[in-house]
Structure 1
Amino acid sequence: MKKDKLNPKDNQDNPEIFNAAVLKKIQQVRNSQPSIEVLISGILSGEISALSRAITLIESNNKNHFAKANSIINTCLPYANQSVRIGITGVPGAGKSTFIEAFGKHLSSLGKKTAVLTIDPTSSISHGSILGDKTRMDELSKDPNTYIRPSASGDTLGGVARKTRETIILCEAAGFDVIIIETVGVGQNEIAVHSMVDFFLLLQIAGAGDELQGIKRGVIEIADAIVINKSDGDNIAKTEQAKAELNRALHFFPPKKSGWTPIVSSCSAKNHQGITEIQQIITDYIELTKSNTYFDKKRAEQNEFWLLETINEQLKQNFYGNTEIQNLLEKTKKAVQNNESSPFAAAQLLIETYFNSKDQSCS
C-alpha cells in the first residue's frame, strides 16, 4: 500500500528527530538583538541584514526600542543625504510595481544602488497588510544592487509608513544612491510622501475614463512628472490623447518654486520602453534644482516639517499611552455615544485630565 505523505501516521517508520534544546537555542538566536554598535557598523558597511534589523527596530512600538532607534538614526545621520529620493504614486492598476521593477533594473545597469520602500495599505478591519511587493517585483528583488523593504502604512495618512522618514536615513547611510518610495494610492494626502522626496512622479494610465477625473487636483499640483504607463499595442493612440489632455491641464497650474516645468511622458514598463527617458527627466530636474539652490532649500524645509510632525506624533502617543486617559477614554466614549456629553466637551475633559496627570507627576 502506498504511503500518504500528508498523513503523519503513515510515516512513523522514519520519525523526525525533535530536540527541544536545539529548538530553544534557535529561538534565542532569532530573538536576540545585536548591539547598537554592531548594527551601526553593519549599516555603514552596507550589510543588508543589519539594515533590515535596524529598520525593524525603528518601526517597533516597544518603548524599550525607542532610545536604541534614536541612537542608530543620530549616528547614521552624518552619512545620509547623499541620495536622490523619488516618490512614486498612481491610480490603482497603473502598474506601479511593474514600473518600479523596470526602473530599478535600469538604475542597476548604470551601477546605482537602489532602495525601494514600498508601503502596503493596512486593513481598517483586521489591521493587517499583505506586504507582497517582493513577490510583485520578483526580478528586482534578486538584484544585488537593489534592496526592497515593504512596510505597513498603519493609520498614517499620506500613504507612507510611520517610520519611512527614518528608514530613508538608514538606507542612505548604507550607501544607496537612489531611494524610491511607492505610496499606497492616490489622493490629497500624498503631501506626506511629497514632503520627504526630491522628485515626485505620478503614474497614470490611458483609456480608463476621464484621465483628469481619475486623480485629484492636489496630486497633479505637486507632481514633477506625469508618466502614462502601458503605452503599447492598441493603447498607444489613447496614450497620446491622454498626454495632450494632461499637458493642457498643466498650463492652468501656477509655476513651481523650483523653476521646473512638469513634464508629461509615457512608457511601457512591461516592455522596458521609455524608462531611459524618464530617468533622464529626473536627472535634468536634480541638476536644475541643485544649480538654483532649490534642492537644498527644499530638504531644509522638509527637515523642519518632520520635526513638527514628530512632535505631533509623540504627543499623540504619550496621550493615548497615559494610564488615566486609557481608563477614562472608554467612559467618555460611552457618554458621547449616548448623547450624555458632546464630543467637544469630552475631548476637553480628556485633555485637561492628561495635563493634570503630567503636572502631578512632575511635582
Structure 2
Amino acid sequence: MTGPAFDPDAIAADLLSGDRRALARGITLVESTRPDHRTQAEALLRAVLPKSGQSIRLGISGVPGVGKSTFIESFGGHLIAEGRRVAVLAVDPSSARSRGSILGDKTRMELLARNPAAFIRPSPAAGTLGGVARRTREAMLLCEAAGFDVVIVETVGVGQSETAVADMVDMFVLLLLPGGGDELQGIKKGIVELADLVVVNKADGEMEKAATRAVGDYRNALALIRAGSALWKPPILRCSALEGTGIADIWQTIGQYRETMQAAGAFGQRRAEQARAWMWNEVQESLIQALRQHPAVREALPALEASVLDGTLPPAVAARDLVARFLGRETLSAWADEDSAGDGLTGLPETATNRAPRAG
C-alpha cells in the first residue's frame, strides 16, 4: 500500500515560515514507521535542527480530575495574549494499545485548538512508550523550528510516561488537587521527585480555602519526600484554571526558573545530557529493531519463546542465545568476558530506563 508522498525540502521551507499545515505534515512524516519515510524524516530533521532549540519546553502532568486540559487551555491562552506561540504535544503510551488518542478530537481544548497561534497534536497511536517518546521529541524540534516558543508536552494521568517526558523537557510541572498531603499518597514518589514546580489547581469557589491550606500541606509533605537542590527549590503555587487566576504567577515562576538555570549553566547542561541520552536510546531502539529482523533470530525465536513460556529455559539464557545469533557467534562467552560488569550497559548515560532518581 502506497502512503502519502513527502518532500522533505518543501516541508522544511514551509515549516520554517510558520506554516501549521507543513508542521502537521512534518510530524506525520516523523511518526511514520516506513523505512523510506524514516530516511526522509531524518533529512527533514537535519534541515530544521539549526532553527530549533529556542523555546521553553514544559512537561505537564497531573492526577486524574485535576483539570489538566482546562489548565493548559487557560495557560496557553495567557501566553498567546502575551504574543507567544504555543504548541501542545501528548505522550500517551496507552494509545499504542488502543490505537486511540487523548487529543484526537481536540475538543478538550477547543478554544486553544482554534487559535492560529496554537498547535495541538495528539500522541502517536502506535509503538511502545519509547517509540512514542522518540516521535514526541522529534515533533518538539519541528514545533520549535516552526516558531513556537513554548512547547508543552502533556502526559496522561500519573503513570509510566512521566520519566520519559521529564527526560525531554526543561521544566516538569505537576498539577495537584486541593486535597492536602494525603493526595501525595496516590502518587509515586519518583514522579514527585521529577517536579520542578507544583501547582494546586481548582482554587476557586468552595475549594479556594482548601487550596490555600493544601499549598502548606504539600510544602510540608514535599520537604519530607525530596530535598531541594542548591539552585532551585520547587515552588508550590495555586491557581484556578477555570477563572484564570494565578496563571500569570505560574508563567512568571517559569521565567525565573529559566533565568536561574541559565545563569548557572544548568539549563544548557540539562539539554546536552538529554540529547546524549536520546542518542543512546536511538542506538538501543535501532539495535533491538535490527535484532528482531535478523533472519537467524527470526528462525530461532518461536522455539526459544516457547521454551521460555513453558518454563524449560531461563529468559536470560534465551536472550543471550538470540543476541549470539544476531552477532553471528556460537555463544556470548567472549562478549561476557569483555563486559566484566555483566550488565552490557557499562558506560551508557542515564536514560528513562536506567537513570537514578534526581536529587533536586
What TM-score does the superposition give when structure 1 sets the normalisation length? 0.84
Q: Compare 162-171 and 137-146 and name the one that shifted more.
A: 162-171
Selected match of 1:70 from 42, 52, 74: 42
Q: Distance in 2 between matches of 1:200 and 1:178?
A: 13
Which residue matches 1:361? none
Q: Is the 8 A contact 2:181 2:217 kept in 1?
A: no
CA-CA distance at 1:154 after TM superposition: 4.5
AA partner of residue 256 (structure 1):
S
Which residue matches 1:12? none
Quickly say closer, same or farther: Cα 1:155–1:186, change in 2 above 3 A.
farther
1:308 aligns with 2:280: yes
Q: CA-atom RMSD, angstroms?
A: 2.3
Q: Distance in 1 between matches of 2:121 and 2:233?
A: 32
AA partner of residue 283 (structure 2):
I
Aligned pairs for 1:277-292 (under 5 A) are 277-292=249-264
Identity of aligned residues (%): 44
Unaligned runs of 5+ in 1: 1-26, 358-363
AA partner of residue 228 (structure 2):
P
AA partner of residue 224 (structure 1):
D
CA-CA distance at 1:236 after TM superposition: 1.6
Deviations 1:280-322, CA, capped at 9 Å, x for gaps: 1101111111122211111111111111111111111112222
Q: Compare 271-280 and 248-257 and name the one that shifted more.
A: 248-257
Quickly say closer, same or farther: Cα 1:337–1:326, change in 2 above 3 A.
same
Quickly say closer, same or farther: Cα 1:196–1:295, change in 2 above 3 A.
same
Q: Is the 8 A contact 1:119 1:182 kept in 2?
A: yes
CA-CA distance at 1:338 after TM superposition: 2.0
Q: Distance in 2 between matches of 1:36 and 1:231?
A: 47
Selected match of 1:237 from 196, 209, 229: 209
Larger Rg: 1
1:227 aligns with 2:187: no
Which residue matches 2:80? 108
Which residue matches 2:358? none
Which residue matches 1:346? 318
Selected match of 2:187 from 187, 199, 215: 215
Which residue matches 2:327? 355
CA-CA distance at 1:208 after TM superposition: 8.4
Q: Is the 8 A contact 1:106 1:275 kept in 2?
A: yes
Quickly say closer, same or farther: Cα 1:321–1:128, change in 2 above 3 A.
farther
Quickly say closer, same or farther: Cα 1:106–1:233, change in 2 above 3 A.
same
Aligned pairs for 1:41-60 (under 5 A) are 41-60=13-32
Q: Is the 8 A contact 1:230 1:269 kept in 2?
A: yes
Q: Is the 8 A contact 2:133 2:165 kept in 1?
A: no
Selected match of 1:256 from 229, 233, 258: 229
Unaligned runs of 5+ in 2: 330-360
Deviations 1:303-362, CA, capped at 9 Å, x for gaps: 1111111111111111222233233222212122222322222112111111118xxxxx
Q: Distance in 2 between matches of 1:145 and 1:311?
A: 36
Aligned pairs for 1:6-85 (under 5 A) are 32-85=4-57
CA-CA distance at 1:158 after TM superposition: 7.8
Q: Is the 8 A contact 1:206 1:239 kept in 2?
A: yes
Quickly say closer, same or farther: Cα 1:325–1:65, change in 2 above 3 A.
same
AA partner of residue 43 (structure 2):
S
Alignment coverage as a number of residue pairs: 328
CA-CA distance at 1:189 after TM superposition: 5.1
Q: Is the 8 A contact 2:58 2:170 kept in 1?
A: yes
What TM-score does the superposition give when structure 2 sets the normalisation length? 0.85
1:319 aligns with 2:319: no
Which residue matches 1:163? 135
Which residue matches 1:271? 243
Quickly say closer, same or farther: Cα 1:189–1:97, change in 2 above 3 A.
closer
